[in-house]
Copies of this chain bind each other. A is one copy, B any other.
């Protein structure tokens, strides 16, 4: 690992209440891959086998049935890190040990069950993350769910246990549940609120979806209007989310969502970068493409973020 750049040191300074172990692993995330030292992130997450099933996830590019495929893709693309559930890391982590920082996603959901209040199952532990050589844990919350307390309290314990093991926590914050309309799940106010909640719960890195030009909550809508908070461009909306992340003092990255055309992906990434996003976490748009295309796309995404520094 090279010496940390000034930007990396600046970002680390916002985590000054954390122990050196946690800061060391945050530094590892920021000092690896093509974007090393820039303070920007492109992460490859592959939990879709669990979340959507293997056929929907890997049939478009069957190499992906094999967990090794994704590890190698993330390494070759120069990603900052690779994130996956327990089983995928069990198969491949030993083989690729030390080649790329890994993030163990501790909770997961599937689409086979019908549940009243969305709530992922905690399917792995901090001890597993340590055992598998990971640099961070990942955890998904669904603000808006009636089961939110279960999720926030599990996260509280995991954050604390991870800190004791020197691991930072990355929180996937996906508003969902009876308290929110379908459209509201990606509303700009809800995105900003969801990011704030993740930060308050102790997340070191927050992941949200790119917000839409829509305000969900009635009380908040009045505030957006009264203070003329701009929401028209993606950059505007990302800026609002970044503010909600402790005024930019917590790293926030955005997901890519469903697979789509290359130009569409890049256009979105440009908006994210312009709004001040710390980076992208891109799954299906990467691994469902043929490998060569995926490497090309990821390189383009990284280039956009590099230019934004």
Contact = CB atoms under 8 A, between A and B. Distances in A.
Contact of A179 (B112, B152, B226): B112
Interface in A113-151: 113-116, 119-125, 127-128, 131-132, 143-146, 148-149
Nearest to A175: B112
A297 to B, nearest CB: 21
A77 interface: no
B246 A55 contact: no
Interface residues on chain A, size class: 35 or more
A2 B192 CA distance: 44
A283 interface: no
Contact of A50 (B122, B178, B197, B223): B197
Contact of A153 (B91, B121, B178, B223): B121
Interface stretch (A11-19, A36-44, A270-278, A301-309): A11-19
B202 A243 contact: no
Contact of A200 (B85, B224, B229, B250): B85
A87 B201 contact: yes
Contacts of A14: 91
Contacts of A201: 86-87, 123
Nearest to A108: B200
Contacts of A197: 50, 110, 112
B193 A53 contact: yes
Contact of A217 (B111, B177, B180): B111
Contacts of A199: 87
Contact of A229 (B16, B59, B121, B148): B59
Given A49-B200, A66-B249, A111-B217, A227 B60 contact: yes
Nearest to A196: B54
A289 interface: no
B200 A123 contact: yes
Nearest to A144: B112
Contact of A125 (B91, B116, B160, B219): B160
A90 B203 CA distance: 10
Interface string A214-237: 000101100110110100000000
A249 B180 CA distance: 41
Interface of A: 14-18, 49-50, 52-56, 58-60, 62, 65-67, 85-91, 93-95, 108, 110-116, 119-125, 127-128, 131-132, 143-146, 148-149, 152-153, 156, 160, 175, 177-180, 189-190, 192-194, 196-197, 199-203, 217, 219-220, 223-224, 226-227, 229, 240, 243-244, 246-247, 249-250
